[in-house]
Amino acid sequence: MTNPSTLPEPNILIAEAIPPREPADLIVAEPVEKPAPTDVLVAEIVNEWSNLPPAQSWPAKVWRTICFSLSWLFGLVSLIGCLAAMSVVPLLQFATLGYLLEAGGRVTRSGKLRDGFIDLPRFARIGSLVAGTWILLLPIRFLAGLTRDAETIPGNPAVGAWRLGLTVCTVLMVGHILLAWYCGGKLRHFFWPLLAPFQLGQRLLNSGLAAPIMKHILKPWWPSLFNDLFVPLPWTSWFPPAIVWSGLRRGRMYVEARDAVWDFIIGLHLPHYFWLGLRGFIGALLWLVLPTALLAVGTSQNNGGAFLIGYVGAFLLAFVLMYLPFLQAHFAAENRFAAMFAWSEVRRRFRHAPLMFWVSLLATLAFAVPLYLLKIEPPPRPLMWTISLFFIVFIYPARLLTGWTLGYARRRQKPGWFILRQLSRLATIPIVLLFVLIVFLTQYTSWNGVAGLFEQHAFMVPVPFLGR
């Protein structure tokens, strides 16, 4: 089993707004065995995006920062989409839960929220592959629709021309998509014909008649901007035909592509996330199964004994809810299954940050409440993954906040004020009791009825349809 301490640290501050010089990496992100530090300024990381000289002028720094921010946001959106898509696939659901646990565990160990955004450049590459391919397939779909319309007209002489145009368009687009995949699958590889005029214009500006004029006018007035503007990018960093030609000259196109794809897939650490998620699911189930079962029995029978059993289950569930979010963060940070049941450790850490524990518990339960509204009516199966998007968006921040709180408490040496600890404990009681009441009522609104009580998506698999 892989220990998370041996995994690469999350390298969330590296974006690829400016392409690297080496064309050989097909879709490989930064090497996982050489993670960049995550405790340096964004401006310093921006300068490491490529082999180009660091930006010297403020317009270039602003531009690279904007590119970095957009790339980071694109990676985050791609990450949420990938987790939502995996959450609807059997077995991969545990990998989704494992990623969320790993994110909270890393934040617990380091105390930095940014460490919870793991492998964003890799997910950004997946997002660019999906988005670029989908956009380039739109013309084929459009022509296919026109061809079908032409075929509905009996004796239409233009049917042959439409079919020929559809065939030519399909061949060209598929070839263009495969070319972009080989070059790395970045968005600039899919839309390089649109970028070519700008890149060629820059080269003409660097080597044409405008170069001496700019050198004598711009360089004396603003030398740093001149140095940033007149740095031509290599052809193999953005021009797919040049990348393919470079691969042909090396004679290792297939081997390099195969190794790059394999390294990229291995770098996602799916087995580790699956194993972590499976154990996290089992641990949460062991905590929740008895209180939830007692609550379900109390609601399914109409006698006094069952009513009493339901009350016992409700209070047991409230007790579990006070500890389970932090137990899962502790388990992910330690990567030991026994840590899932170290509730005394959580109690001890609570004394060092009582107010933050209360805020984290409130956020975790509050973010889980709106998700029960999505379980009132089951959507069509093809749209199930769209609902999972909301589950990831609500649960992910709660995991990060819980991990940050536990990490903050682990680093504090002195306990909090006695009065603050007691007030935080008292304030926790109405929160968990209200959440238990909401969970109790969901059996009358969820499409799974009483079985929906066991779908604790805030602590187990983040999907609203575990029983479907």
What is the pLDDT averaged over residues 223-249?
78
pTM of this structure = 0.81
Instruction: Judge if 237 and 303 occupy the same domain.
Output: no
Q: Is residue 466 situated within a structural domain?
A: no
pLDDT band at 9 (very low <50, low <70, confident <90, very high): very low
Instruction: Judge if 232 and 364 occupy the same domain.
Output: no
Q: Is residue 56 situated within a structural domain?
A: yes
Instruction: Judge if 347 and 442 occupy the same domain.
Output: yes
Instruction: Judge if 281 and 389 occupy the same domain.
Output: yes
Share of the chain above pLDDT 70, in %: 80
Instruction: Judge if 385 and 408 occupy the same domain.
Output: yes
What per-residue confidence (pLDDT) applies to 240? 87
Q: Is residue 188 situated within a structural domain?
A: yes
Instruction: Judge if 348 and 448 occupy the same domain.
Output: yes
What is the pLDDT averaged over residues 58-84?
90
Instruction: Judge if 182 and 39 occupy the same domain.
Output: no
Instruction: Judge if 107 and 159 occupy the same domain.
Output: no
| Most confident among 2-6, 63-67, 356-360, 375-379 (mean pLDDT) | 356-360
Give the residue from 232, 266, 300 where a domain finishes.
266
Count of structural domains within the chain: 3
What per-residue confidence (pLDDT) applies to 19? 41
Instruction: Judge if 172 and 286 occupy the same domain.
Output: no
Give the residue from 124, 139, 165 where a domain finishes.
124
Summarised one tens digit per residue, pLDDT across range 345-390 is 999 999 999 999 999 999 999 998 887 777 777 666 666 677 788 8
Average pLDDT, rounded, for the chain: 81
What per-residue confidence (pLDDT) applies to 5? 42
Q: Which domain holds residue 257?
A: 127-266
What per-residue confidence (pLDDT) applies to 134? 95
Instruction: Judge if 279 and 404 occupy the same domain.
Output: yes
What per-residue confidence (pLDDT) applies to 54? 77
- 20-34, 149-163, 447-461: least confidently modelled range: 20-34
What per-residue confidence (pLDDT) applies to 360? 94
Residue 105 has pLDDT above 60, yes or no: yes
Q: Is residue 410 situated within a structural domain?
A: yes
Give the residue from 207, 231, 266 where a domain finishes.
266
Instruction: Judge if 260 and 314 occupy the same domain.
Output: no
Instruction: Judge if 291 and 426 occupy the same domain.
Output: yes
Q: Is residue 467 situated within a structural domain?
A: no
Residue 63 has pLDDT above 80, yes or no: yes
Chain centroid, CA 318 distance in Å: 31
Residue 161 has pLDDT above 80, yes or no: yes
What per-residue confidence (pLDDT) applies to 300? 66
Q: Is residue 462 situated within a structural domain?
A: no
Q: Is residue 329 situated within a structural domain?
A: yes
pLDDT band at 297 (very low <50, low <70, confident <90, very high): confident
What per-residue confidence (pLDDT) applies to 72? 93
pLDDT band at 221 (very low <50, low <70, confident <90, very high): confident
- 200-209, 371-380, 398-407, 411-420: least confidently modelled range: 200-209
